[in-house]
Structure 1
Amino acid sequence: MEKVPMTERGYAELKEELRRRQQEERPRIIQAIAEARAHGDLSENAEYHAAKESQSLNEGRISELEDLTARAEVIDVSKLSGDRIKFGATVKLVDEDTEEERTYQIVGDQEADVKKGRISISSPIARALIGKGEGDTVEVAAPGGARSYEVIQVRWA
């Protein structure tokens, strides 16, 4: 069974989604199925089929979340330190072409959200950054072509 690395925040978010889907969504969907059943003929009942599809999607996600939380390897980022980039590090970069600064935290696949500044450990930029330190330059093969970044700061939040 392969462990899935994630931060404490990411683990808490998955547990909350699992709780919500089991305790709120599941009963709501069951109620919707019961109401749709009461309307009679199920073969042409769009509400019934929509509710059953919703149930299938919800149960699939519940199974996925149960698997992920069971395999989670929760890493307490506050206990990490060092001058080299690894999982959990918050890294400030500057694009060497545009001089644009960006800050990313390297997190597990399930909690990655570029809009919130969290990139997956398996993303091309994170893989290029692992093992680097302040002042190092990294080349990243991006979809729009190769990008070059300089590491300005490595911190542990």
Structure 2
Amino acid sequence: MSEKEIILTREGLNKIENELEYLKTVRRKEVAERIKEAIAFGDISENSEYDEAKNEQAQVEERIAKLEMTLRKAKVIDETEISLDVVSIGTTVKVKDLDFDEIVEYTIVGSAEADPYELKISNESPVGRSLLGGKVGDIVDVQVPDGIAKLEILEIKR
């Protein structure tokens, strides 16, 4: 069984590498210190500080493992090779919602990088999937819970 590639932009890769470095060099030490302090309180069988610190340690280690796995499967897209003729992963696309007469700018990224608060949408999301391959001037239909939204592609850039 082949593992699914995780598509990342250079920015997304850097963000993951920085978080991993922080977890390994800073958070691990902080949690280890908390465990050490909790053990100093004595009997660990009824020591809530110890239990809390051990749970935190497990969460940190789980996150480290997840980030390392992501990096092993990562395929970084070369942003200089991205065509601006069509919407693709790594492009930023300005669209007009024809139903609400609103203009929004989305950056299309791989699912590991998606962050709706930063308007970075996954290529696997309904909007991302509908926009992929579109050209300036195209009107695409997006399946949304209320029905179908119509988006006009106004601009494609890096």
Answer whether TM exceeds 0.5 for this pair. Answer: yes
Q: Percent identity?
A: 37
In structure 2, distance between residues paired with 1:99 and 1:82: 24
Out of 113, 125, 128, the position equivalent to 1:126 is 128
**Which shows bigger deviation, 134-143 or 21-30?**
134-143
Number of equivalences: 156
Amino acid at match of 1:33: I
Q: 1:130 offset after TM fit, Å?
A: 1.0
Amino acid at match of 1:88: G
In structure 2, distance between residues paired with 1:122 and 1:38: 49
In structure 2, distance between residues paired with 1:25 and 1:121: 32
Secondary structure of the equivalent of 2:112?
A: helix
Out of 45, 48, 52, the position equivalent to 1:46 is 48
In structure 2, distance between residues paired with 1:80 and 1:45: 55
In structure 1, distance between residues paired with 2:112 and 2:132: 19
Structure-to-structure mapping, 1:87-126, within 5 angstroms: 87-126=89-128
Q: 1:125 offset after TM fit, Å?
A: 0.4
Secondary structure of the equivalent of 2:45?
A: coil
5+ residue gaps, structure 1:
none
Out of 140, 150, 153, the position equivalent to 1:151 is 153
Which residue of structure 1 lines up, in the alignment, with residue 34 of structure 2? 32
Secondary structure of the equivalent of 2:75?
A: strand
Which residue of structure 1 lines up, in the alignment, with residue 6 of structure 2? 4
Amino acid at match of 2:77: I
Q: 1:112 offset after TM fit, Å?
A: 1.1
| TM-score, normalisation: structure 1 | 0.95
Out of 83, 86, 109, the position equivalent to 2:85 is 83
Q: 1:55 offset after TM fit, Å?
A: 0.3
Amino acid at match of 1:125: V
In structure 1, distance between residues paired with 2:148 and 2:79: 30
**Which shows bigger deviation, 102-111 or 70-79?**
70-79
* Alpha-carbon contact 2:138-2:153 (below 8 Å) kept: yes
In structure 2, distance between residues paired with 1:72 and 1:66: 10
